[in-house]
Structure 1
Amino acid sequence: MRATEEQPLISDGLLAEFANPDFNAQRGEFDASTRALLAIALPEICNELLSWRQTAAQQPLALALALRSEAIATRVADARCTIRAANPIPSDILTDACETLLRHSTDAAERAAASDVLAQLQQAA
């Protein structure tokens, strides 16, 4: 089985687990299924890491821009979730979410709504 961009061979959760090993894992003590998983996944993990390192060395600007774009997309998505939350939102968190949308959203209506909310927050203060 080969990893794809949509469905990696090894999940982020499992990578996080391997990145923070428990005492037994730190000593190299794994059960049979974990050893089998590592035997299959380790080449994929190494290939991915080598690819990232090669890209970082050969195209650092492209990689930095891609990572920045991904970070911005995540911030915009988080801001949208904050604004759409069912529970009341503290004004400082709402302000931050609206400012994020003003700076980074590509949707003109969304930016206008964020601007209106910020104006209302300033009037209320």
Structure 2
Amino acid sequence: MRATRATEDEPLVSDNLLAQLADPDFDAQRGEFDAQTRALLAVALPEICSELLGWRQTASNRPFALALALRSEAIEARLDQARHDIRAPEPVHPNTLTAACETLLRHSTDAAERSAAADVLAQIRRAA
């Protein structure tokens, strides 16, 4: 396990590290860590706790703002997946392509991207 900060915008504790910590092996479940992991936890635990407290406070004090932030993050993830599906090097199943284009039409802020998605959807419908 490593915690390294690539830039100031990236957290010390990455999502991959959190996933590893959330799925402990047998030794970790018993509280047995090697020296490197103990040092990592000593540095990472305060940041993990601070972030969790921030999320809890926001959820308690501003649930609507938190809901909007989570929705925005989910939409961005859907847009990223749609763009990935469209640009896949291998042939894309028409249903996958249709869903990706519909996602872009519904959520993209880029007018050219929405126009291209509409054109592709029109071609798919003509071909069907």
TM-score normalized by the length of structure 2: 0.90
1:117 to 108, 115, 120: 120
Identity of aligned residues (%): 70
Q: Is residue 30 of structure 2 the alignment partner of residue 27 of structure 1?
A: yes
Structure 2 residue runs of 5 or longer lacking an equivalent are none
Match among 73, 77, 84 for residue 81 of structure 1: 84
User: By how many angstroms is 1:76 displaced?
Assistant: 1.0
Partner SS state of residue 115, structure 1: helix
- Counterpart CA distance in 1 for 2:54 and 2:72 is 19
* Structure 1: gaps of 5 or more residues: none
What is the aligned residue count? 123
Alignment of 1:57-76 (within 5 A): 57-76=60-79
Pairwise CA distance, 1:112: 1.4
Q: Distance in 1 between matches of 2:76 and 2:87?
A: 17
Q: Which amino acid aligns with 1:52?
A: W
- Determine the C-alpha separation between the residues in 1 that align with 2:77 and 2:8: 18
Residues 39-58 of structure 1 aligned to structure 2 (within 5 Å): 39-58=42-61
- Structure 1 stretches of at least 4 aligned residues deviating more than 3 Å after TM superposition: none
Q: What is the TM-score of this pair, normalised by structure 1?
A: 0.92
